[in-house]
Structure 1
Amino acid sequence: MAVLAGKAVVITGAGQGLGRAFATHAAAEGAAVVVNDVDEPLARQVAEVITLRGGTAVVSPGSVTDPAQAEAMVDTCTAQFGRIDGLVNNAGIRYQAQLGQDDPARMRELIEINVLGTLYCTNAAARRMRTGSIVNLGSVAMVGQPTALAYSASKGAVASITAGAAAELHERGIRVNAVCPIAWTRMAAADTKAVQSGPPETIAPLVTYLLSDRAAKVTGQLVRFANGRLHVVGQTSPKHPVVERVEWDVDAIAEAFEQRLVLEDPAWVRWSP
């Protein structure tokens, strides 16, 4: 039996790239899919492909930066299919810019799509979802990637949204996870790691799994999937030792850093190729 049989899911940014792969794979595994994209013709093409292959899909075009559109996607899902079981917050943008030369308008646009879009859609889905799964699109750029500070900040926010929503929605039976993939897409063209990776279709089975009941015990996780390697990324936590004193001054703090605290390479160094 198809792993998503009987499920109804909303996938944002599904007109191309990863979103298209997620939508077609979910449909092939039995899900009824609401295809969202800011580019309506592309969204309709994906829905037509799904339908021609025997699946079920409808279109809800528009930008995730509009809270009303987030509500409309969920309403479309419940009106057409009677329920909403899953949401994939895939819509996002990325660009490279050196610090000091970035364009504030581009920064704002990226944050509105990547962060506010994720929040708006999650908020709308949580209102109508009884049980189910939300899958966010994260990135290890969240640790801080040079020449991509706005993007890194947005993915750090997505990691926080994932952890917070998972904790809040756990009692309601709604799971929230994030995937941190590398795949060759048009958006990732500036990322040399993505250039060396596989197509979006290689990532789709992971998202389908997280949407399914087979992942019933998986929530609050950041899941890294790149170049055939799958692992969970650790969340922020204290690093031992923890130095305690009754009183602190500059000398005491200097002594702690120089002799007791264990420093490590910044995260962007450890995640570099």
Structure 2
Amino acid sequence: MGILAGKAVVITGAGQGLGRAFATHAVANGAAVVINDVDEPLARKVADLISLRGGEAVVSGGCVTDPEQAQAMVDTCTAAFGRIDGLVNNAGIRYQADIGQDDPDRMRELVEVNVLGTLYCINAAVRSMRRGSIVNLGSVAMVGQPTALTYSASKGAVASITAGAANELHERGIRVNAVCPLAWTRMAAADTKATPSGPPETIAPLVTYLLSDRAAKITGQLIRFANGKLHVMGQTSPKAPVIESDEWDVDKIAEAFEEALEPEDPAWVRWGVRT
């Protein structure tokens, strides 16, 4: 029957690349899926392929930046399958631009897709989801990547969305995690400094696992999966020591840094993000 038998899942940006891989893998493991993509003919090709293989899939076109379209995806899922158990916020865009040379229109479009699209889809899904799993698409770019400031900012926002939604929804039995993958897709090809990586299908088992009941104790996590390496990413937390004083001035602050507070290397140094 498969690890996702009986579950209905909405997957955004599923017309190609990672989204297509997530959809076909979920169906192979028993799920019924809603295929969303701004390019509806691409979404229909994926749905047709799934149907030919004996799986269940329906299409909901439209862009995630439209909250009405986000709601329509969820409504399509509940109408077709009677429920919604999972949401994969895969739709996203990226591009390269030096700071100071970025195009404000492209910046706005990226934030609307990557950040607002994720928010709109979560907002719509939880209205109908009784229990289940939400998987967001993060990126290690969140630690700071040259020539990708807007993209890095958007993925930092996705990390915060993941943490906030997981905190708020856990008592309702809805888990929220983010996958930070590395795979060779059309989006990766847009990165002129991208390093070689595996196909999208290598990431799909992780998403299927997070959608399943076997991951019932996993929530609020940022999970990196790249080139055969799987690990949980550390999240923001205080670093000891915490120094207290009734009065602070510049000299006391300078003394604290010179004698006690040891700044960490920037995240992009620790992660070895290329320059």
- Shorter chain as normaliser: what TM range? over 0.9
Residue identity opposite 2:241 in structure 1? P
**Structure 2 stretches lacking a partner, 5+ long:** none
What does residue 222 of structure 1 align with?
A: 222
Residue 209 of structure 2 corresponds to 209
| Equivalent residue, structure 2, for 1:62 | 62
Letter aligned with residue 165 of structure 2: A
Q: CA 1:194 to 1:9, structure 2 compared with 1: closer, same or farther past 3 Å? A: farther
Give, in angstroms, the shift of residue 123 of structure 1.
0.2
Distance in 2, matches of 1:178 and 1:194, equals 21
Question: How far apart, in 2, do the equivalents of 1:266 and 1:115 lie?
Answer: 24
CA distance in 2, matches of 1:196, 1:240: 38
1:264 maps onto 2:270 in alignment: no
Letter matched to residue 4 of structure 2: L
List, as ranges, runs of 4+ consecutive aligned residues in structure 1 with deviation greater than 4 Å. none
Structure 1 CA distance, aligned partners of 2:143 and 2:195? 20
Aligned to 2:91: 91
- Structure 1, unaligned runs of 5 or more: none
Give the distance between the partners of 1:243 and 1:145, measured in 2 at CA. 32
Residue 193 of structure 1, CA deviation: 7.2
Q: Which moves more between the two structures, 40-49 or 261-270? A: 261-270
* Alpha-carbon distance in structure 2 between the residues aligned to 1:23 and 1:140: 23
Counterpart of 2:124 in structure 1 is 124
Instruction: Kindly provide the CA deviation profile for residues 72-99 of structure 1, in whole angstroms up to 9, marking residues without a partner as x.
Output: 0000000000000000000000111100
User: C-alpha separation between the residues in 1 aligned to 2:127 and 2:222?
Assistant: 23
1:225-244 equivalences in 2 (<5 Å): 225-244=225-244
Tell me, in whole angstroms, the C-alpha distance in 2 between the residues paired with 1:149 and 1:198.
25
* Matching of residues 1-273 of structure 1 within 5 Å: 1-191=1-191, 194-272=194-272
Alpha-carbon deviations, 1:85-124, whole Å to 9, x = none?
Answer: 0000000001111000000000000000000000000000
Asked if 2 retains the 8 angstrom alpha-carbon contact of 1:85 and 1:129, the reply is: yes
The CA deviation at 1:20 is 0.4
Confirm or deny: 8 A CA contact 2:225 2:231 kept in the other structure: yes
- The separation in 1 between residues aligned to 2:163 and 2:177, in whole angstroms, is 8
The one-letter code matched in structure 2 to 1:87 is L
- Output the CA distance in 2 between the equivalents of 1:269 and 1:157: 20
In the TM superposition, what is the alpha-carbon distance from 1:247 to its structure 2 partner? 0.8
- Displacement of 1:190 in angstroms is 3.9
Pairwise CA RMSD of aligned residues? Answer: 1.1
Q: Which amino acid aligns with 2:14?
A: A
Aligned residues: 273
CA deviation profile, 1:166-203 (whole Å, cap 9, x unmatched):
01111110000000000000101144775411000000
Letter in 2 for 1:117: G
TM-score using structure 1 length: 0.98
SS at 2:247 equivalent: coil
Which shows bigger deviation, 232-241 or 69-78? 232-241
Contact 2:85 2:129 in 1 (8 A): yes
| TM-score between both structures, scaled by the size of structure 2 | 0.97
Match for 1:211: what amino acid?
A: L
Q: Give percent identity, aligned residues only.
A: 84
What amino acid maps onto 2:43 in structure 1? A
Confirm or deny: 8 A CA contact 1:183 1:194 kept in the other structure.
no
Aligned-partner SS, 1:6: coil
Q: Is this contact kept in 2: 1:183–1:195, CA < 8 A?
A: no
Structure 1 residues 222 and 39, CA, compared in 2 at 3 Å: closer, same or farther?
same
8 Å CA contact retained: 2:4, 2:31: yes
Q: Which moved more, 1:145-154 or 1:6-15?
A: 145-154
Q: Deviations over 1:210-230 (max 9, x none)?
A: 000010000010000001000
**In structure 2, distance between residues paired with 1:99 and 1:237:** 28
